[in-house]
Structure 1
């Protein structure tokens, strides 16, 4: 026998031994079981650190650095895990704006949030709607994804060290998806045969991503003519045959969207319920809605188990927002007929908070802060740039109840800008009255510290960022009296209808209408909101300069690009009546106005434009706000507000006496003049 055949036999024997080794992947026999954890972050919004840039202090209730601790704990608990992100990742804090707009990162630099995520080893993610806020060139750069933009191919730059997939956004000129629509993640997992033997077996998980189709409205100035968007169901049906041809063991849909059982449309914002019904999708990761699933918000929804975390029979999770939570799906897999199947009886989802109770919150992972220390320090220095002084406390604690102190600054700055710029662009509109609309972005949704609060004293860029939370640009729309009233009626849906005969407590705020959709319009305008009436019939006593507004009376309204282009689905606002689309950010316009004003007094602010129409109720009308702030309400003339009970978590339940008419003399007198 020659030496070569002998060596071949020895080599084959060695290979066979390796193949049967307990550490080498093998095909699992039927009956084999494995537990696999699907971990999800979503809507982190660049909250890398537990730091409040508006109040310049630590905030242990938010921050990816604490979610990282939960990730490490989950990995220690589960032998097998995958980690995904469902979008709205790169925008949302002053740190994000600093790296995008003030001192943009270079092609060779990675965003702070991606540095932090890379430290935790993600397996994939998708793009949310806010990924598009800074424009396609920036998105292409920071995600390391070359794109065709205006006929030019962008360079490949530094991006996250994990794949981003997006199946429903396409280049308008080529029809090709701007991101890879799907990809396959391959791992070796630990499994157990029916006799208890441990195996290392391969698993292939396909991931496919989706963003809300309304991005074409919300970021029209960045996306119009550059991309097209399809519905999430249509995109899934388009690419699932390709995915299935690669024989994945699981298909995970990563959707930046929530759940809505209204009739499906291709531009549905929260299409998760319908996506779960697409054959071939096994697991659903949700986002965008800034809430938790499973959770009580979805109790009673058709074909949804809001306790164990199933949507139409598919395991699903939505892991909160702002780095407050980690979503976890514990998948129980069983091998049947040569394929992995999900044992639904032994599968469940949960959302794990970084603060299980008010205190203590989990500690920050020490590996994260050093990665972003330089960018964080530069951002802190930037927001502390002085721009003036104020003699007025500007807060949003009671913005829903009529305190316009913080909004008045935004509206004054927006109105001033449009009044100066519009005559040059549209001389024919020079005589048309200019109004301004703004909403309080921070009204407690994120907790008892989630309010704008700029105390009297020095003003900095941090103050302007607190007054205006988002990186919107300014826009102005041409409308009429009927349009203004319709705008206000839509805003007044923020309130529940109050029954004056009811003796028990009634909640004032409709929590299904976000605070950022309660626009308050100023500029010699006055109106009352009658919450005893149904939605759409609540605006009464609408006047301009003391005279009733007529339906055909022309107006120009200063607002932001999101609202002007259709964000929030306000009647008559779809981008077609925009007469000014500035490239200047509203936050920067506010900062410039404050700087020109010098020392801000009440006389510099427009008068509060609205109040509740008197409505005498038998029982208390209540709302929740930060505890201990009744004095602030009274200082701004809201003497009909009293704190009922402290809830012990930084918030309190207040009562508002709607029967007390605060219009006129009971409100602080405010003139309005323009300083040069």
Structure 2
């Protein structure tokens, strides 16, 4: 917030926002150990520069800060060195005013989350997440009031989180919580704030994204309620919302929708969202005269903030040692050169994942996907670094009881991943790339033999489906292991929702893979070529 009054009697107010930092505090690529430009430490230098120009600015994190990098994994699972969570320490150092809870904040359970919140010098909140017993917001008052310009201007910051979390999260991690519709919660609380606090401006920080094309308003995804940012903007006038900070989709957006100024600053410290609001005093009341959003991006000249980097040294050193511990060896080729090729036919890396899942679960069939946007597979010498590069989410495994009909429907959903180029070669359906990459929603199966003919219309592409050499009938029943995200129906796999749970394996996938290497030492790269895509 800029306390400087312009010569024309206007007051200029600055908001800075980060979102989806995902534990990327230091500028390092954990897969390779090399330097990367984006990080919270890099943005920290930019934040301090902005603070010099606007000493009262409002600094917000819009969720998904505590999970995402090996550092975050190490700190949450293994490190006993740090008295304070290093990610929180970095945010404290940069003097955040508030943080909104993201869906990934729950990934490591409530104990770690509550500890991190308790160590924070700023509040965490969300209007739509309620205590099941009291019905009140579970993390305290879901908004913050800031007095500006010597107390003459009142700004309200309201936080809200996508209510789709129960569709993804381990139920134990969200026990006792109720997730109300984010749009309804935002509008209800904004109206209440407007009536009770009478602010001059309302800023909404929503850990969720935009479900429609910004220009045309046409849906860019199936309207499940996971992302409601566009609808929020359309309804904002009635509730008096002036600014909407968004996230979750990892997009770079600075625009205006239906009169609402919108910003979304990417992921991993990719950009700093900035919103400037100009107030003008009219008849004794401050009125929002102008609003504008922009994205501030670091470049190769941006030096990471020294104090943030210094505060991370101990945890970072421990993380690097842990990452380089040897786990086992691979004979043959288990590397992933071209992810598209890996998705066209059975591959040794996916076959290995299935072996781990099937052994851990005792299931008959296995479902898995390439989770990383840049999957590497495994080289000859496997360390925890390679494991976490491929298994960055703290997913657990669930065995569902599925029918042959369910499996066929799931394969048809998977087959929608492909389109054909003009020359007949397979390409990725644009819906899996924009508005955000969703390659992790393409599944590959083990235990069945199948063929997907992508020359055929969507919904009619499964041309072979067998188990043990016999066609799979709709009424056949199977125990199928998959990660908890998919078992909940995540990725629009609605055919899995509500199916009987046979077994739950609560160990994370990364730990299961690491233990598999520790147990067997050397793994042969092999596959049975049980499926293929025809084009």
TM-score, with length taken from structure 2: 0.89
CA deviations on 1:22-60 (whole Å, 9 max, x unpaired) are xxx99x9996212222111000001111122232x1231
1:462 corresponds to 2:392: no
Measured in 1, the distance between the counterparts of 2:100 and 2:484 equals 24
Cα distance in 2 for residues equivalent to 1:321 and 1:492: 28
1:230 is aligned to 2:180: yes
Are the aligned partners of 2:336 and 2:342 in contact in 1 as well (CA < 8 Å)?
Answer: no
1:572 to partner: Cα distance = 2.0
Distance of 1:282 and 1:30 partners within structure 2 = 25
8 A Cα contact 1:395 1:454, kept in partner: yes
Deviation at 1:104, TM superposition (A): 5.9
Aligned counterpart, 2:467: 544
Q: CA deviation at 1:516?
A: 1.2
Deviations 1:143-185 (A, max 9, x none): 11xxxxxxxxxxxxxx221122210011111212111243334
Instruction: Pick one of 245, 264, 268 that aligns with 1:318.
Output: 264
Q: Alignment length, in residue pairs? A: 517
Between the aligned partners of 2:142 and 2:428, the Cα distance in structure 1 is: 45
Is the alpha carbon distance of 1:61 and 1:598 closer, same or farther for their aligned partners in structure 2, counting shifts above 3 Å?
same
The yes-or-no answer on 1:607 pairing with 2:528 is: yes
Aligned to 2:23: 46
Task: Give 1:453 shift.
Answer: 4.4
Say whether the 8 Å CA contact 1:67–1:325 is kept in structure 2.
Answer: yes
Partner of 1:75: 51
Alpha-carbon contact 1:216-1:223 (below 8 Å) kept: no
- Which position in structure 2 is the counterpart of 1:121? 95
The structure with the larger Rg is 1
Matched residue of 1:528: which SS?
strand
Structure 2 residue 135 is the aligned partner of structure 1 residue 175? yes
For CA contacts below 8 A with separation 6 or more, give which structure has more relative contact order.
2
Q: Deviations over 1:566-588 (max 9, x none)?
A: 22230322254221112211111
1-side partners of 2:221 and 2:35: how far apart? 40
2:510 matches 1:587: yes
**What is the CA deviation profile of residues 447-477 of structure 1, one whole-angstrom value per residue up to 9, with x for unaligned ones?**
xxx3324322x22222222231211111111
Q: Alignment partner of 1:606: what SS?
A: coil
CA distance in 2, matches of 1:336, 1:392: 74
The aligned runs of 1:157-168 (5 Å cut-off) are 159-168=119-128
The corresponding residue for 1:408 is 351
How far is 1:285 from its partner? 0.3
Alignment of 1:7-86 (within 5 A): 32-55=9-32, 57-78=33-54, 81-86=57-62
Give 1:393 shift.
3.9
Which segment is superposed worse, 507-516 or 320-329? 507-516
CA distance change for structure 1 residues 364 and 505 in 2, over 3 Å: closer, same or farther? farther
Q: Secondary structure at the match of 2:23?
A: coil
Structure 1 portions without partners, runs of 5+: 1-24, 145-158, 190-199, 295-308, 423-433, 444-449, 615-676
- Counterparts of 1:396 and 1:210 in 2: how far apart (Å)? 39
* Structure 2: gaps spanning 5 or more residues: 213-218
- Compare 365-374 and 201-210 and name the one that shifted more: 201-210
CA distance in 2: counterparts of 1:393 and 1:340, whole angstroms: 66
Q: Structure 1 residues 504, 461: CA separation in 2 closer, same or farther (over 3 Å shift)?
A: closer
1:487: Cα distance to partner? 1.4
The CA deviation at 1:514 is: 0.3
- The CA deviation string for residues 203-254 of structure 1, in whole angstroms up to 9 with x for no partner, is 3221111111111121142256511111122212332344221222211111
Task: Quote the Cα distance in structure 1 between the aligned partners of 2:200 and 2:335.
Answer: 52
Q: Cα distance, 1:105 vs. partner? A: 7.5
Aligned to 2:496, what secondary structure does the other structure show?
coil
2:6 & 2:350 partners in 1: Cα distance? 65
Distance in 2 (alpha carbons) for counterparts of 1:117 and 1:219: 25
Please tell me whether the aligned partners of residues 348 and 527 of structure 2 are also in contact (alpha carbons under 8 angstroms): no
Aligned to 2:441: 517
- Kept in 2, the 8 Å contact 1:37–1:328? The answer is yes
Q: CA RMSD in A?
A: 2.8
Where do 1:425-574 residues align within 5 Å? 434-443=364-373, 450-456=374-380, 458-495=381-418, 497-498=419-420, 502=422, 507-510=427-430, 511-512=433-434, 514-523=438-447, 525-574=448-497
Change (3 A) 1:64 1:248: same
> How many Å separate the matches in 2 of 1:333 and 1:503?
57
